[in-house]
Amino acid sequence: MTLRPSLAALLLTACPASQAVELRFEAQVEGAPLACDAPQRLADGRQVELVDLRFFVHAVELEDADGKRVPVTLDGDAHQQADVALVDLATDGGSCRNSSAALHPTVRGSAPAGDYWRVHFTIGVPFAANHADPIHAQGPLAALSMHWGWQGGYKFLRADLRIDGAPHSVHVGSTGCAGEIGAIAGCRRSNRAEAAALLHGSRAAVALELAPMLAPTPADTVPGCMAEPGDPGCVPVFSAMGLNLVTGAPAHASPVFRAR
């Protein structure tokens, strides 16, 4: 007698349990790609040159038509682990000669199979991993040049630029943290930005548009932003990232991360 496969077995064979997910990032200035040795100009005529650009991504989720979200489990390698990835948009050469050696613009993982139209993600590192001892960190968190020792955590976003030849740095991470490295009790300002982009199938091409972060700095202040609420240079940065400058809480999805 020949046994007929059950309906459940047929469904399991026909429908994969998970699907691959890919987010590919690119830096832009006024809609034009910004890369090492490929400067761009702001609308006001200032020239922007890339030196280093890296940021951490975690809490990646896919959203379906009913608004339900499912988590994405990230693949494991030197640039990402199950819950956090380090996106690197600068190579070690030319204008980026002091950056890391490898370009890593893509975040890859898997999610339950389904039909999704949008991806959500957070710029930053989860609290426990952010405040663990970095000496023992592995994978993407082993990048000690991304650690902000005096803050007891990582720089969630590190953008080092030159504007008209002058250094301009935007470093965003948690601030107002209490305790010592490896034993941080909490932070007054978490500064984790939330973002979203449209999907094409299970892939998203995401632009980080830097121009809104680069408003001219008052002459008597240090150019850029170090994530402090009293820093005038942080006003355009936090607005662009959708963060409340005083509390560090997300006010809305960051408009500078968008589908391209």
Q: In this predicted model, what pLDDT tens digit does every residue of 174-206 receive, in sequence order?
A: 999 999 888 899 999 999 999 999 999 999 999
Task: Report pLDDT for 217.
Answer: 74
pLDDT tier at 12 (50, 70, 90 boundaries)?
very low
* SS3 readout for 69-111: EEECEECCCCCEECCEEEEECCCCCHHHCCCCCCCECEEEEEE
Average model confidence (pLDDT) for the chain?
Answer: 90
Given a contact cutoff of 8 angstroms between Cβ atoms, the answer to whether 118 and 196 are in contact is yes
Per-residue pLDDT reduced to its tens digit, 119-130: 999 999 999 999
pTM higher than the cut 0.85: yes
Task: Write the CB contacts of 82 (distance below 8 Å, at least 6 apart in sequence).
Answer: 73, 74, 76
Contact, 157 vs 172, CB < 8 A? yes
The pLDDT, as a whole number, for residue 8 is 47
DSSP state of 115: -
| pLDDT at 67 > cutoff 80 | yes
Task: List pLDDT tens digits, range 197-232.
Answer: 999 999 999 999 999 999 887 766 778 999 999 899
pLDDT at 94 over 60: yes
Whether 29 has a pLDDT exceeding 80, the answer reads yes
